[in-house]
Structure 1
Amino acid sequence: MAQELDLELGLAPYDPWVLKKNLTESDLSRYGFVILPKQDFEKIIPHMERGLVENLGNGVEVKVHIVEEGHESDDYTLTLIKCSGRYMLRGGWYNMVKAKGYKTNDEIGLTWDKWTRRFLLHHIN
């Protein structure tokens, strides 16, 4: 099946964050997980390795690279899982958001870097 190319040019700035989420109180709670917007997350899945995607029901270890201003950045290892049709990050999520000082209504952006096989996460505002 042939794919169509989208050759339309636009003036909007490039936005690498495929998934955006405003953090809620429950995302920052001691429950220790964040539920990712399903529709946006499913745009990331085609770029991930097949073995990783096939094991989401069991939970898979993924690297998350925090993209920040300046030269410092942090890497975390979290668990990505698909449970009851929802995608979530857990297993270290609470420690990460606590260390980064994220607050309710902070917006984060997430994308998958297929070359380094890790998520890139950015605190947008």
Structure 2
Amino acid sequence: MAQELDLELGLAPYDPWVLKKNLTESDLSLYGFVILPKQDFEKIIPQMERGLVENLGNGVEVKVHIVEEGHESDGGHPPLTLIKCSGRYMLKGGWYNLVKAKGYKT
């Protein structure tokens, strides 16, 4: 089985708050949520406020800055809801409206 290599180079310093995600069909579906890369997201948790982490099961409102293939978004979208469900971390609560408005593709 061939393994795909990621040879992307960049000059930006490492930022543990940055998650990279290639969108899938399910991320763009009517279900209205995007599943975050678990291993990458769990690196962020130690830097989050304790109360926020404790409330992930209920969902917490977060401001998300989106970079689309090297271009920063205008940031003019409402906050999304970050939730932990069945051991997965996801963004919802407005995600589908953002997908439609931006015309996101896989």
TM-score normalised over the length of structure 1: 0.60
> Is contact 1:21–1:36 with CA below 8 Å preserved after alignment?
yes
- How far 1:67 sits from its partner (Å)? 4.6
> Is contact 2:16–2:44 with CA below 8 Å preserved after alignment?
no
* Unmatched segments (≥5 aa) in structure 1: 103-124
> Is contact 1:38–1:86 with CA below 8 Å preserved after alignment?
yes
- How far 1:65 sits from its partner (Å)? 2.7
> Is contact 2:58–2:83 with CA below 8 Å preserved after alignment?
yes
After TM superposition, the runs of 4+ consecutive aligned structure 1 residues lying more than 4 A away are 1-17, 67-73
> Is contact 2:17–2:44 with CA below 8 Å preserved after alignment?
no
- Describe the shift of the 1:8–1:38 C-alpha distance in structure 2 as closer, same or farther (beyond 3 A): closer
1-structure distance, mates of 2:64, 2:98: 10
1-structure distance, mates of 2:34, 2:3: 34
- Describe the shift of the 1:51–1:100 C-alpha distance in structure 2 as closer, same or farther (beyond 3 A): same
> Is contact 2:35–2:89 with CA below 8 Å preserved after alignment?
yes
2-structure distance, mates of 1:71, 1:10: 14
- How far 1:26 sits from its partner (Å)? 0.7
Secondary structure of the equivalent of 1:94? helix
- How far 1:63 sits from its partner (Å)? 1.2
RMSD: 8.3
Deviation string 1:40-59 (CA, Å, 9 cap, x unpaired) is 10011122111111100111
Secondary structure of the equivalent of 1:4? coil
- How far 1:35 sits from its partner (Å)? 0.8
Deviation string 1:83-122 (CA, Å, 9 cap, x unpaired) is 11100000100111221221xxxxxxxxxxxxxxxxxxxx
Of all paired residues, the percent bearing the same amino acid is 95
TM-score normalised over the length of structure 2: 0.69
* Residues matched between the structures, number: 100
- Describe the shift of the 1:79–1:18 C-alpha distance in structure 2 as closer, same or farther (beyond 3 A): same
- How far 1:28 sits from its partner (Å)? 0.3
* Bigger Rg, which one: 1
- Describe the shift of the 1:36–1:95 C-alpha distance in structure 2 as closer, same or farther (beyond 3 A): same
